[in-house]
Amino acid sequence: MSNLAVTNDLFFERTGMEPGRVEKLVGEALSGMDDGELFLEYSQSESVALDDGRIKSASFDTTQGFGL
pLDDT value for 36: 76
pLDDT value for 59: 98
* 11, 17 contact by CB (below 8 A): yes
Residues with Cβ within 8 Å of residue 48, at least 6 apart in sequence = 55, 57, 58
Going residue by residue through the chain, which has 68 residues, state the pLDDT in tens, using 9 for 90 and above.
Answer: 898 888 888 888 888 888 899 889 888 888 888 887 778 888 999 999 999 999 999 999 999 887 87
| 10 Ramachandran zone, left/alpha/beta (phi>0; psi -120 to 50) | alpha
